[in-house]
Amino acid sequence: MPKVFLSPSTQEWNKYYTSGNEEQTMNLLADKMEPYLRSSGIEFTRNVPERNVNGAIADSNARYYDVHLALHSNAGGGDFAGKLRGIDNYYSPYSRLSKDLAVIISNNLQNIYPLQGRVQALPTTTLAEVTRTKAVAVLSELGYHDNPLDEAWLKENLDSIAKILVQSLCDYFGIPFIEPGTVYSATVATDGSGLNLRAYPSTESKIILSMPNNSEITVYGQYGNWYVVNYKGNIGYAYADYVALK
């Protein structure tokens, strides 16, 4: 299943127009993304705020991830303080996949941001979380926190933004987006044979592994007759007829 390194801002010194700061708000956004990531079958790791940006890059590069997604908000500063609005999704000009993801995120965010024409995908050769990470990387600047209108929009729409970002990841990975619901403990219930854990909700998809009968599993979400399940840290899809919810 897809693996994402989720990297909310570590910049607690970037104060918002009325209250709070960039690190605080971006971590709240990441918190709201987590249920959508789990229910949609996307494995994720979050950065450690105390390690700052260089630590986040090192931790991301230390393991394999399909995507490195950095979450930030912007500021005009100087003569432009409080005057700018918009969302910028930065990608590497040397990676087609990075651009693809940035365009998907931008297109989807246009559906909820009030100034549709100011949501754009932009190349960067200077932002370290895009240029120095091994994974396909995008850095999203989700509005200008020194602008009262953007700050209000951002704080009032954290859940919608979280949902859009995870939908965008699902679009990029080509997997179903699944709304979060009740998380269940469950067991594999077959005739004694193993139950295949698959990479996609189809009997034609890749088999990740076979789960023995009576295995303890966790169910995060459902797509048709398939459950998104976690078996010993392995996440994938299992056919619902052979899963017994507790």
Flag whether pLDDT at 1 surpasses 90.
no
Q: Are strands 184-188 and 243-245 parallel, antiparallel or unpaired?
A: antiparallel
Classify burial at 161, counting beta carbons within 10 Å of its beta carbon; exposed 0-12, middle 13-18, buried 19 or more. buried
Q: How sure is the predictor about 77, in pLDDT bands with cuts at 50, 70 and 90?
A: confident
- State the pLDDT at residue 75: 96
Torsion of CA 215, 6, 158, 41, to 10 degrees: -30
- State the pLDDT at residue 67: 98
Tell which phi-psi region holds residue 4, choosing left (phi > 0), alpha (psi between -120 and 50) or beta: beta
The domains of the chain are located at 3-173, 184-245
Flag whether pLDDT at 78 surpasses 90.
no
- State the pLDDT at residue 88: 98
User: What are 118-142's pLDDT values in tens digits?
Assistant: 999 999 999 999 999 999 999 999 9
Superfamily per CATH, domain 184-245 = SH3 Domains (2.30.30.40)
Q: Please state the pTM of the whole predicted model.
A: 0.94
Taking the C-alpha atoms of residue 66 and residue 136, their distance in angstroms, rounded to an integer, is: 6
Torsion of CA 74, 76, 78, 83, to 10 degrees: -150
User: Quick one: average pLDDT of 29-47?
Assistant: 97
User: What are 186-203's pLDDT values in tens digits?
Assistant: 999 999 999 999 999 999
Taking the C-alpha atoms of residue 209 and residue 156, their distance in angstroms, rounded to an integer, is: 42
Asked: is 3-173 a CATH 3.40.630.40 domain? The reply is yes
